[in-house]
């Protein structure tokens, strides 16, 4: 079965976006060490899972980047699945739309042959993936900024969710990557 990774940018106080959805607090420019880490993380990935709102900016952004930039070819060429109940077909190249029950959709994707899958999403998709414990690996990229309020990475889960730390890695740009797995693994 495929490994399903969830990668989330977060503030040091646990928000993935400000209250109005802005992410201008994120640390850029990335340094060579974090670029190498992300390249290694995404190398085995052959399917990206995106939320609809994120896809609307993510896919055109990467398609417009010069091929010489790190990771551009991978982001552009990897097949994508956009989770949406409002879209019926994809307006983007190399992308399909999946709606309906999220657990069923992810379970079917994980059962398909292939490499790893990685999810990038907005608050709703990330919250649903975490609340339903659908990920095999959680990669939190903790930016050295506190924003005080916003869209939390971990909204009300209804129960405790225990995670096991697999690794932690600080980078020269100030971001620290925390790699977790569900504790039952």
Is 185 a residue whose pLDDT tops 60?
no
Query: Whole-angstrom Cα distance, residue 173 to residue 109?
Result: 34
Count of domains observed in the chain: 1
Please state the rounded mean pLDDT for residues 54-71.
Answer: 83
Please state the rounded mean pLDDT for residues 85-91.
Answer: 89
Sorted by sequence, the CB contacts under 8 Å of residue 63 that are 6+ apart come out as 76, 93
Q: Is residue 2 domain-resident?
A: no
Please state the rounded mean pLDDT for residues 158-178.
Answer: 94
CATH number at residue 87: 3.40.430.10
Query: If pLDDT is split at 50, 70 and 90, which confidence band does 63 have?
Result: confident
Give the model confidence (pLDDT) of 123-133 as tens digits.
889 999 999 99
Is 69 a residue whose pLDDT tops 90?
no
Strands (E), the chain: 4-11, 15-17, 45-51, 80-83, 95-98, 116-120, 137-143, 151-152, 163-170, 176-182
Give the containing element (helix H, strand E) for 69. none
Q: Is residue 146 domain-resident?
A: yes
The mean pLDDT value of the chain amounts to 92
Q: Is residue 160 domain-resident?
A: yes
Cβ-based neighbour number of residue 111 at 10 Å: 9
Q: Is residue 70 domain-resident?
A: yes
Tell me the three state secondary structure of residue 91. coil
**Which residues sit opposite 68 in a β-bridge?**
none
Q: Is residue 1 domain-resident?
A: no
Q: What percent of the chain has pLDDT over 90?
A: 68
Q: Is residue 151 domain-resident?
A: yes
pTM: 0.92
Q: Is residue 165 domain-resident?
A: yes
For residue 144, what are the domain limits? 9-18+25-182
Q: Is residue 42 domain-resident?
A: yes
């Amino acid at each position: 079965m495929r490994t399903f990774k969830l990668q989330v940018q977060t503030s040091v106080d646990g928000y993935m976006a400000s209250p109005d959805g802005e992410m201008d607090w994120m640390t850029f420019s990335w340094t060579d060490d974090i670029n190498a880490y992300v390249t290694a993380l995404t190398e085995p990935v052959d399917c990206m899972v995106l939320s609809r709102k994120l896809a609307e900016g993510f896919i055109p952004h990467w398609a417009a980047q010069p091929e010489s930039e790190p990771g551009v070819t991978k982001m552009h060429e990897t097949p994508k699945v956009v989770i949406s109940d409002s879209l019926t077909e994809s307006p983007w190249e190399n992308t399909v739309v999946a709606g309906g029950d999220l657990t069923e959709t992810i379970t079917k994707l994980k059962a398909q042959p292939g490499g790893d899958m990685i999810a990038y999403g907005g608050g709703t998709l990330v919250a649903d993936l975490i609340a339903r414990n659908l990920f095999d690996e959680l990669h939190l990229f903790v930016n050295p900024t506190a924003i005080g309020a916003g869209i939390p990475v971990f909204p009300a889960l209804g129960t405790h969710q225990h995670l096991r730390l697999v690794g932690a890695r600080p980078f020269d740009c100030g971001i620290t990557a925390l790699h977790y797995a569900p504790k039952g693994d």
